[in-house]
Structure 1
Amino acid sequence: MMKANSVTESSDPRREDARADRLTFIWVAGFFIAFLIVDILSSMTEVARFRLDVDPAKVAIYEISSVLVILTLYWWIARAVTLATPGQHDWRYVTAIHALAIVVFSAIHIAAMVAIRKLAFLAVYGYPYIFTDSPAREFIYEFRKDTLTYCLIAFFIIFGRQLTQQRRELAAAREDAKKSHRLTLKCGGRSVFVAASDVIWAKSASNYVEVKTPTAQHLARATLGAIERQLSDAGANAARVHRSWIVNRDHISRIEPTGEGDVKIEMTDGAVIPGSRRYRDRLPVDG
């Protein structure tokens, strides 16, 4: 029973998303800190260029207070993405949830940012920070920027979760290859399982890989390296013979030299595949 519970917990998508969000936060924080440094330096350059009477410390307070609050609210955005994930929930629901979340995000960002600035001004200068004489104007000004910031962070979160899911699926496919000696191919919206011994050749095709068997030809969303690792895990007698090609050595019918160490490889299905001298040692010597 304990083992079953541990498996369930390890495969809990909420836990997986939380792990992905923590990693994504590091990237988001790095991005905003880099932006913060560039923005402060650019502002100081503008002050010097136009001989403006602006205290660089105030510029730093303005920018740091904003970024600090944004990073704190990262988890609010992650929660909103969980509640309404594009592609998983109805678009009208997604739009409504994120529209409301953006308003709340902006309101908290402005209020907290101003509070931090007031405290910083009292501590550094001894007098209060005045945010604006027109709250409506400044809210609209900040809201425009906050909307873009929210959308950018939400994109990072969604992308981070998808990347983590892809890595998890690749790991699961390799584990399955070791146990069942078959490949798991993502073809469109379905998974296709192919016996590793049936694979005749595989060819890189941009963001896809063509996988040929005696009965079919599959176009899988994968890298050639990922297919090569699955074949190796499955125990197939496969080898990379070109940067864009993998062949099953059990399906080679003839190897013909073309000069300068390159070869032509004829397969049992009639395909003629280029073999690079870089990978010549992976082919039968007497082929």
Structure 2
Amino acid sequence: MIRAMTTSPISDAELDRRVLLRVWLIAAAFLAAVGFVNASTLIVDATREARSLDPRVPWTLEYSSIVTITALVPLVALYERRFPLTPENWLKAIFAHFIGSVVFSTVHIAGMVLLRHAAYAVILGRSYRFFSDPLTDIVYEYRKDLLPYAVIVLILNLARSVEEHKREAEVARAEARETGRLTLKSGGCTILLDARSMEWAQAAANYVDIRANGMTHLARISLTALEQLLSEAGVDVVRVHRSRIVNRAKVIEIAPSRDGDFRIKTTDGSELGGSRRYRHLLPA
């Protein structure tokens, strides 16, 4: 197979910046919502049970933790970039992220306790004590920190995958526009096709069968995305079925069939079925 272009509309640094910003905003919004629910629940429960509780305490406890975790997201992103979760190195990555989670929890506890000491002194006018039983408290906090660390790492992986897919699509569209060539993924290979040679294409689950130059290629792309690529390359394609498109320039015969549907023949001898709802897009 021919290797595709390596140029990219955005750099790796810009991609990482987009991923970090997206995950940072998601984490901040989600944690803020969780903190609000937890703090307000503690206050409501205390009121129902007629217990004395300074309402400032739950907010201080919750948001000192949330602020610290949110501040750690960029560091987790840098670490995750160094040890991404991929099929090739998943075992190494899991061990690395176990170590990362321990460091994350340690820094979180330290930052949270410092914020609480300051908040208690300034807002509540009294001291804060965290370690009543140091070993038990640290283990307890680590168990709680393990979930947010894992969620942040997984969201970083997902967001990076989405951004990389978008970047690949931008590269493919740019190449189609500039060279008239389609860049398509097929397993671990890259297929490059002259867009004008495409006869027809039809959806096949998460893939698309593409007929060109007397061969059928299986590409990992949606039919809609393929239509966009072909349009960028200046090819006039028309949808003849919800799961099928044809190159209008390759159509040599259109014949009616039962129930108002129709049949199409293309220049390479292929015969395709068309749906009546799309018949008006072709010549009468």
- Uncovered stretches (5+) of structure 2, i.e. residues with no partner: 1-5
Residue 197 in 1 paired to residue 212 in 2? no
Name the CA shift for 1:253/1:47 in 2 (closer, same or farther; >3 Å): farther
Name the CA shift for 1:204/1:21 in 2 (closer, same or farther; >3 Å): same
Corresponding residue for 2:245? 246
C-alpha separation in 1, matches of 2:43 and 2:205: 45
C-alpha separation in 2, matches of 1:234 and 1:189: 24
Q: Could you report, residue by residue, the CA deviation over 1:244-278 in whole angstroms, capped at 9, with x for unpaired residues?
A: 22111123243344588x5323232433223252x
Aligned residue runs from structure 1 range 58-77, under 5 A: 58-77=57-76
Q: Is the 8 A contact 1:177 1:233 kept in 2?
A: yes
CA deviation after TM superposition for structure 1 residue 166, in Å: 0.8
**What percentage of aligned pairs have identical amino acids?**
32
Corresponding residue for 1:264? 262
Higher relative contact order (CA 8 A, sep 6+): 2
Query: More deviation in 29-38 or 97-106?
Result: 29-38
SS of 2:261's equivalent in the other structure is strand
C-alpha separation in 2, matches of 1:42 and 1:258: 66
Q: Could you report, residue by residue, the CA deviation over 1:175-214 in whole angstroms, capped at 9, with x for unpaired residues?
A: 1111221211111111111221222222223332222224
C-alpha separation in 2, matches of 1:55 and 1:186: 60
Cα RMSD between the aligned structures?
Answer: 2.5
- Uncovered stretches (5+) of structure 1, i.e. residues with no partner: 1-6
C-alpha separation in 2, matches of 1:80 and 1:99: 12
Query: More deviation in 80-89 or 190-199?
Result: 80-89
Q: Is the 8 A contact 1:106 1:143 kept in 2?
A: yes
Residue 109 in 1 paired to residue 142 in 2? no
CA deviation after TM superposition for structure 1 residue 52, in Å: 3.9
Q: Is the 8 A contact 1:200 1:267 kept in 2?
A: no
Q: Is the 8 A contact 2:176 2:232 kept in 1?
A: yes
Query: More deviation in 39-48 or 26-35?
Result: 39-48
C-alpha separation in 1, matches of 2:7 and 2:149: 33
Query: More deviation in 127-136 or 25-34?
Result: 25-34
Residue 86 in 1 paired to residue 100 in 2? no
C-alpha separation in 2, matches of 1:249 and 1:241: 10
Q: Give TM-score scaled by structure 1 length.
A: 0.86
Q: Could you report, residue by residue, the CA deviation over 1:118-167 in whole angstroms, capped at 9, with x for unpaired residues?
A: 21111222111222411111111110121111111011111111111111
SS of 1:200's equivalent in the other structure is strand
Corresponding residue for 1:184? 183
Query: More deviation in 66-75 or 195-204?
Result: 195-204
Count of residue pairs brought into register by the alignment:
277
